[in-house]
Chain A
Amino acid sequence: MKILVPVKRVLDYNVKARVKADGTGVDLANVKMSMNPFDEIALEEAIRIKENGKAEEIIAVSIGVQQNQETLRTALAMGADRAILVVATDDVHNDIEPLTVANILAAITIKEGPDLILCGKQAIDNDFNATAQMLSAKLKWSQATFASEIDVEKDKIRVTREVDGGLQTIDAKIPAVVSVDLRLNEPRYASLPNIMKAKRKPLEEISPADLGVEISQRLKVIKTKEPDSREAGLILENIDQLVEKIQENVGG
């Protein structure tokens, strides 16, 4: 089995997003960028499936700017076998929409022939939570979102999903697109020898045009602003004051 894992380069989750003064978006110049945490979990799962002898090859794909190379090197150091970089823009502020990402990934899928695609459930920058679902629709494949447990069987994959009411388990026929949630696993750190080895693993660079995909933008950004901020309130002296405040605001 071949597994495809798309990985996005995003503002590091520990860094607070700052809105650009001109309101066009969030400032990404000279800030720490990392692999989207959900994609790390997807990649970790792919590596574990391979380590369990159920997959032969893992291909990591990143779509965005040239610097996404770094993210792919990290993926290779973690355990991906090879990487494909789709250079879709030269401005890091130009976020490629999930629909276009799905089109690009669908084209790569047709070329590479994976049986399983593991995606993060959402990118922590645009928070769309849409790529996996759109991709599975485009490919006419099975869809299993928000996975917290994955069991690859012969021609199907059993997925436990985190849903609002609790957990739902489904069987998805392979080929399938699975989007992963936080509790699926804890991603490994790349070891130094593996970081060195990753430098020699193949990283292919292509453009959307090579795949016959056009970059489209369906949502025009009108403006981006800071949220209404909350003021820090009062630190109370004792429990009785707190009890009073709670009582004032219950059913109030």
Chain B
Amino acid sequence: MKILVLAEINDGELAEDQTSKTVSAATSLGKVDVLCASNSCTDASKKIASMENVEKVFVIEDDIFSQSLAESYSETLIDTVSSYSHVFAPSSSFGKNILPRIGGVLDAMVISDVSKIISSDTFERPIYAGNAIQTVQSIDKVKLVSVRTSNFDSVPLTGSADIEKIECATNNTYTTFVENKIQTSDRPELTSAKVVVSGGRGVGSKENFEIIEGLADKLGAAVGASRAAVDSGFAPNDWQVGQTGKVVAPDLYVAVGISGAIQHLAGMKDSKVIVAINKDEEAPIFQVADFGLVDDLFKAVPEIEKKI
């Protein structure tokens, strides 16, 4: 068994939470190597070298990797990747873009969104928006595993792995980067926040969403949204929680003006405590909430913010 983790590095910046939890999932099978491919990996590789049970950090620096385009990885890193029995990546938009393409090149299935590692060839993963959990056993020579990071803890930073630069011919004749519209915010990251406050269609407008953001800031929380809120333009796409958005499992999830469709629940029902505020007492969100308040959000949320 030889295990490789693809570190998620976007434009030189390590996605530390995602990568650390992926390392944590992978190290349940043994010690791992980590591959850092980006335009600049100095900070990222140092951080990764300190993660527990990382044996070796391979670094390849080239501008071609800066925007995490799938072809850059699949065309150039195949030789490196195919010498391993397991390749892990976070099941983020980074991992979901790259890992199946590597699977196509290697003729191996990808085991997406793994929530539990049973053994070196057997894994658990949610299907049907989390309405069923399936255990699958892979017969592929190389196991390609994307990790549902919200199900794993970060690893402690107690290690001191060797960092080794590698060279390979880089090539991507398929896609070119044009621009990014990336939101920066002082709030905690949605997928790793301890508290998340989310708003839905009930919030009504982009302006009204400030009520949600106000409560979130008071609690030091990340802000989330339902698909309906994002589709209506109340919130940016990267706030969407659910089957097709982000999967979160904070200590506390506050759902405001969200009905609780299965596709939304798919992204938040592993939260430790769920609080729901909705004016409709029949809303399905109350069936999963630990604490519910049947009230108008425009009255309740500002008052809660004041009293906290």
Residues of A within 8 A of B (CB): 11, 13, 16-17, 19, 25-26, 97-99, 102, 121-122, 124-138, 141-146, 148, 158, 161-173, 176, 181-183, 218-227, 230, 232-236, 238-240, 242-243, 245-247, 249-252
B residues neighboring A (CB under 8 Å) = 10, 15, 67, 69-71, 74, 92-94, 96-105, 107-113, 122, 125-140, 173-183, 191, 194-195, 219-220, 227, 230-231, 236-238, 243-244, 246, 251-252, 254, 262-263, 269, 272-275, 277, 281, 286-295, 300, 303-304, 307-308
B277 (CB) vs chain A CBs: closest residue: A242
The reply to whether A137 and B111 contact each other, CB–CB distance below 8 Å, is: no
- Give complex CA distance A219, B294 in Å: 45
Cβ distance B67 to chain A, nearest Cβ, rounded Å: 7
Chain A residues within an 8 Å CB radius of B291? 233-234, 236, 242, 245
Q: What is the CB-to-nearest-CB distance from B20 to chain A, in angstroms, rounded to a whole number?
A: 16
What is the interface of chain B mostly: helix, strand, loop, or mixed? mixed
Which residues of chain A come closer than 8 Å to B304, judged between CB atoms?
A: 239, 242-243, 246
Pair A17/B238 contact, Cβ less than 8 Å: no
In the complex, what's the smallest C-beta–C-beta distance from B19 to chain A, in angstroms? 13
A245 to B194: give the CA distance in the assembly, Å.
15
Give Cα distance in the complex from A161 to B135, angstroms: 31
- Inter-chain contacts of A181 with B (CB < 8 A): 244
A125 to B111, CA, bound (A): 14
A183 to B295, CA, bound (A): 30
B290 touches A234 (CB 8 A): yes
> Residue B103 contacts which of A124, A137, A144, A169 (CB distance < 8 angstroms)?
A137
| Interface-centre pick from B136, B140, B194, B295 (highest chain A CB count, 10 A) | B136
For the complex, give the distance between the alpha carbons of A169 and B308 in Å.
Answer: 41
Q: A148-B237, A235-B286 are in contact. List 6 more A-B contacts (CB 8 A).
A: A133-B104, A165-B182, A169-B179, A173-B173, A218-B140, A235-B293
Give 10 CB contacts A-B under 8 Å. Answer: A129-B112, A134-B110, A137-B103, A145-B70, A164-B191, A168-B179, A170-B176, A172-B174, A242-B277, A251-B195
Q: How far is the CA of A231 from the CA of B211 in the complex (A)?
A: 29
Shortest CB-to-CB span from B40 to chain A, Å, is 17
Structural contact, A218 and B108, CB atoms closer than 8 A: yes
Asked whether, in the complex, the Cβ of B175 is within 8 Å of the Cβ of A172, the reply is yes
Chain B nearest CB from A148 CB (Å) reads 7
Residues of B within 8 A of A239 (CB): 293, 295, 300, 303-304, 307
